Structure 1
Amino acid sequence: MRLSAFIESVGVIGPGLTGWAHTADVLAARMPYASARTVLPPPAGLPSAERRRTGPVVRTALAVGHEAVAASGRDATTLAAVFAASGGDGQNCHAICETLAGDDRQLSPTRFHNSVHNAPAGYWSIAARARATSNVLCAHDGSFAAGLLESVCQVAVDGVPTLLIAYDTDYPEPLHAVRPIDDAFGVALVLAPQASAAALARLDVTLTDANATPLATPELEALRTNNPAARALPLLEALAARRPGRVVIDYLPETRVQIDVTMPERFGEPS
């Protein structure tokens, strides 16, 4: 079964990557990649009390979500959303484990509600005043692919634009030893059922057993394999280079997601 959607905009943040315009220049080799720690901005749109309580996961999700929605020109309050992450707030989970291992085991209510997997979706609904439905899912290292499949399904079935936000952040030791994600990475896509003047590409999505598409730059390939959300990089590279063709991204151990990318000048041609 093949499903289709149109990408209208992108948001990106990650190690040495600050926004889609900068990331596109790096991925299209218009400028060199210089790895650096991810710089997360304050979470825009939140009241001061909630803003102080947010951790890296929420800040990553909100940063890319705001960028993608602003670039699309759509109304965030009515935009359906899908959130995808392989885990939650690792630093917050570490702090909870430290508390539970100590003598005083009383947990902060803020730490508790930030520990749940759908916390970024809740903060997004406040920050963006979003009233549409949102889904939150997890598929370990295949979380971006799972989020993309869910988003494209919603676009195809419901016929409405959908915002996909995928994100993962690093874990401190000793959790890092068993989940070695080194830094935060997030990506957001606004997907629509019909082509518009803003459409960057059409995606035709299906399942495959082909190998995932690697990146030629060793540092970017290392990022792709280190952070589950960064499995999106081959797709982002095709968009950045305006290169039609086929990319494959990781999903399940025996199954990957194949994405056929068509540029706007060829939307009228049969897929």
Structure 2
Amino acid sequence: MHFKIDQWRAWAPGLDSTDDWRAWCRAPMRLPDAQQQPDVGFLPALQRRRLSRLARMLFHVAWPIAETQPALPLVFASRHGETPRTLALLTDLAHDEPLSPTQFSLSVHNAIIGQWSILRGDSSEMTALAAEGDGLEQAMLEASTLLGEGAPAVLLVIAEEAAPALYAPYIDDVPFPYALALLLKPGDDWQLQLRPGQGPREQWPHPLNLLRALCGEQRCLEHHWKNRQWTWSLNKA
């Protein structure tokens, strides 16, 4: 796959600007999560109240990019999705409490892109993916297909929420909440290759490693997941 990353934005607790992320990339560390909420002040208060933090993360990183573009397809990827909402629903079931139809409808994996479509008034093609440890690459495959079919640009967002305490022993691949938005366009700046191969597990989720390249710290990245080896190469000087 060949493509151009025309714009990017990322968010994590305490990290928002490009300078923030450059500093983190030079000295990566786990971030304390004080349930900080991303700023979505561009939305009316009534609409903001329905958004989970995961949804706010997506809107915070993607909205400013989308504002500079005509309507465009969106690919959203998250391995764990709305786990806090799901746990709340399961807890209500365990206590024989009635379930909230609103909470249920917002807990499904494609609810966030539905909210995005409604609030932006955008009926472009949109996809929600639940992938494993190479979810970013799977989302890139989807986005590359859309570009190959003639889309002038695709907005890709990958986001993960911190696991609720009950799930913490089983979810060990989200060191802190984060979201990354990429505006992808046709081009040869980047090359992504897939070949069979196994390697050690990386310390950080690959979207966070990709930020090192986006911040100018690396030009080539390798990401291993199961029997797949993904190689990202930056060709642009």
C-alpha deviation, 1:184, in angstroms: 1.1
What corresponds to 1:133 in structure 2?
A: 125
Distance 2:200 2:3 in 1: 21
Identical aligned residues as a percent: 23
Partner of 2:138: 146
Contact kept? 2:32, 2:176, Cα under 8 Å: no
Tell me how large the CA RMSD over aligned residues is. 2.5
1:48 has 2:22 as partner: no
How far does the alpha carbon of each residue in 1:202-243 deviate from its partner, in whole angstroms, 9 at most, with x for none?
1111103264795xxxxxx4xx1xxxxx41123221121165
1:63 is aligned to 2:60: yes
Partner of 2:231: 258
Tell me: CA distance 1:48–1:15, structure 2 relative to 1, closer, same or farther (3 Å).
closer
Pick from 60, 69, 73 the counterpart of residue 74 of structure 1: 69
Number of residues paired by the alignment? 234
Deviates more, 1:111-120 or 1:172-181: 172-181
Gaps of 5+ in 2: none
Q: TM-score, normalised by structure 1?
A: 0.76
Higher helix share: 1
The answer on whether the counterparts of 2:38 and 2:53 sit within 8 Å (CA) in structure 1 is no
Distance 1:52 1:9 in 2: 28
In structure 2, the CA distance between the partners of 1:150 and 1:44, relative to structure 1 (3 Å rule), is farther
- Residues 85-143 of structure 1, C-alpha deviation per residue, up to 9 Å, x if partnerless? 00221111111011000132x11122111110011111211333322111111112221
Which runs of 5 or more residues in structure 1 are unaligned?
196-201, 215-220, 225-229, 266-271
Query: TM-score with structure 2 length normalisation?
Result: 0.86
Which residue in the other structure is 1:172 paired with? 164
Q: What code does the residue aligned with 2:12 have? A: G
Match of 1:22 in 2: 20
Equivalent AA in structure 2 for residue 87 of structure 1: H
Give 1:15 deviation, angstroms: 3.9
How far apart are the structure 2 equivalents of 1:67 and 1:212? 36
Among 237, 241, 254, the residue aligned to 2:212: 237
Residue 152 (structure 1) shift: 2.2
After the TM superposition, which segments of 4 or more aligned residues of structure 1 sit over 6 Å from their partners?
31-34
CA shift in 2, pair 1:21/1:129, >3 Å = farther
